[in-house]
């Protein structure tokens, strides 16, 4: 199981970006359980991966998008012991909340 009790904020995760940052990653080792203090994260899966989120574990197939909220407690682990390629998109909390407020109940 992944290591526990990490948390990230936009300064260390978004690498100084004010709004959005993204990067590719290949997961050779399981990611630690962690939460995000002040940003949302979209994770685009290129390979199958286990996603552990708030006590629930799901197999996420390739070509899916995960939506992780601030304060969600989650981790990614390898599926079938293979390396996993993912794309991470981090967006500061205020940008997402402003978007939700703009959309309101229009959908």
CA distance from start to end of the chain: 39
How far, in Å, CA of 51 to CA of 79, rounded? 10
Query: Tens digit of pLDDT per residue, the chain (107 long)?
Result: 445 555 555 555 555 565 666 666 777 777 788 888 888 889 998 889 999 999 999 999 999 999 999 889 999 988 888 888 888 888 888 888 888 888 887 66
Q: What is the structure's pLDDT at 29? A: 75
DSSP secondary structure of 34-102: EEESSEEEEEEESS-EEEEETTEEEEEPSS-EEEE-TT--EEEEESTT--EEEEEEEEEHHHHHHHHHH
Whole-model pTM above 0.85? Answer: no
Record the tokens describing residue 50, joined without a space. Answer: 């286990």
């Amino acid at each position: 199981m992944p290591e526990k009790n990490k948390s990230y904020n936009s300064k260390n995760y978004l690498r100084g970006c004010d709004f959005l940052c993204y990067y590719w990653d290949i997961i050779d080792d399981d990611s630690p359980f962690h939460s995000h203090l002040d940003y949302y994260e979209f994770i685009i899966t290129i390979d199958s991966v286990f996603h552990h989120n708030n006590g629930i574990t799901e197999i996420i197939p390739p070509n899916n998008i995960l939506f992780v909220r601030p304060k969600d407690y989650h981790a990614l682990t390898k599926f079938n012991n293979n390396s996993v390629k993912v794309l991470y998109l981090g967006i500061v909390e205020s940008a997402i909340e402003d978007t939700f407020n703009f959309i309101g109940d229009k959908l």
